[in-house]
Amino acid sequence: MQDLEIAKRRLREKGFSLVIAKDEEVVFETKQSGVGGFLSVIEKFGRKKLHGSSVADKVIGRAAALLCVYCGVKALYAVVLSNGGKEVLEGNGVFFEFESLAPNILNQQKTDVCPFEKVVIVVSDVEEAYEKLKSYMKEKETVRR
C-alpha cells in the first residue's frame, strides 16, 4: 500500500484534488476538480498505464469509482465517498479508504446531483460507463465554446 500512502500524502500536503501513484512514483496530479480530471488522465496515459495504480481523490462518486475500476486501480482513498461509489468499489474488489460517506455527490452549485453521476446512475458495465462519461464530457466542452 506504499503507492496509496504516497498519493494520500500528496493530496493532503499539496492541495491537489486527484493524485495517482504507481510503483512508488506519482504518475499524475491535478487541482482540477470533478470527473473531467480523471477522464483527461485516461486520455493522456491510457488505461493500461494506470492498471495497478493507487488513487487519492477529494471526491469519489459512482462515476469516478467506475472509471477507477475501468482502469484497474488497485487501491483508492477518498476524502468524501458516495454510497454509489462505495457500492461500485465493493462490488469490484477494489481496496478503499475514506473519511466521510455521502448519500450523493452534488453539482458545483449544490442544488442537484452531479451531472456525471446522473450519466451513470444505472450503469454497471465499466466500458459503457467510460464511453458515456467521455461522450458527456465532449458535449459539455462543445457547449462551452
Domains of the chain: 2-144 (3.40.140.30)
**Which residue, chain included where needed, has cell 455527490?**
105
Q: pTM for this structure?
A: 0.95
- Which 3 state secondary structure label does DSSP give 51? coil
At 68-119, the pLDDT tens digits run: 999 999 999 999 999 999 999 999 999 999 999 999 999 989 999 999 999 9
Q: Residue 32's pLDDT band (boundaries 50, 70, 90)? A: confident
75-82, strands of its sheet edge to edge: 25-30, 18-22, 54-60, 75-82, 95-102
At residue 49's C-alpha, the angle toward residues 8 and 38, to 5°, is 55
Per-residue burial over 15-33, b if 16 or more Cβ lie within 10 Å, else e, is ebbbbbbbeeebbbbeeee
